[in-house]
C-alpha cells in the first residue's frame, strides 16, 4: 500500500521522491484511518454517502448508543486495516471534546491512532 504523507498542517507532502510516501508500513493505513474519520458524511463530491456521519450518529445528545459503533466501522472499513485490537473513546461534555483512540492491526504491522475529534 502506498500513501502520500500528510504534514503537521494536514497538507500533502510533495517533493522528496519516495520519501513523500508511506509504502508498506503501518503508518500508511493509520493515516488513511485518520483521514477517513475526519471526513464528514457528504463532503466528498464523488460520493455524498461516504464519510463519518458526525452530525447524525456520533455527536449530539442522543448518539451515545451509535457513536463507538460508527467510529469502529469507519476504522475497520479502511484499506489495509485487518482488525482493531484495542479501542477507547471519551466525551468531555463541558469542553465538548470527543476523542477516540485505537490500536489496529494492519497488513504491515500494528499502529496506534488517537484522534481528537
Domain ranges of the chain: 2-116
Class of domain 2-116: alpha beta
Bridge-based pairing state of the strands 97-106 and 81-92: antiparallel
pTM: 0.89
In sequence order, the β-bridge partners of residue 112 are 103
pLDDT tens digits for 60-101? 888 989 999 999 999 999 999 999 999 999 988 898 888 999
Amino acid at each position: 500500500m502506498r500513501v502520500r504523507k500528510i504534514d503537521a498542517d494536514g497538507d500533502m507532502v510533495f517533493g522528496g521522491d519516495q520519501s513523500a510516501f508511506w509504502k508498506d508500513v503501518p503508518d500508511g493505513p493509520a493515516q488513511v484511518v485518520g483521514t477517513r474519520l475526519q471526513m464528514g458524511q457528504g463532503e466528498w463530491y464523488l460520493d455524498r454517502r461516504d464519510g463519518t456521519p458526525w452530525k447524525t450518529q456520533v455527536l449530539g445528545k442522543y448518539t451515545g448508543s451509535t457513536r463507538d459503533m460508527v467510529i469502529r466501522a469507519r476504522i475497520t472499513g479502511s484499506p489495509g486495516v485487518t482488525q482493531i485490537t484495542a479501542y477507547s473513546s471519551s466525551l468531555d461534555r463541558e469542553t465538548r471534546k470527543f476523542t477516540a483512540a485505537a490500536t489496529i492491526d494492519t497488513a504491515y504491522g500494528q499502529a496506534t491512532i488517537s484522534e481528537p475529534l
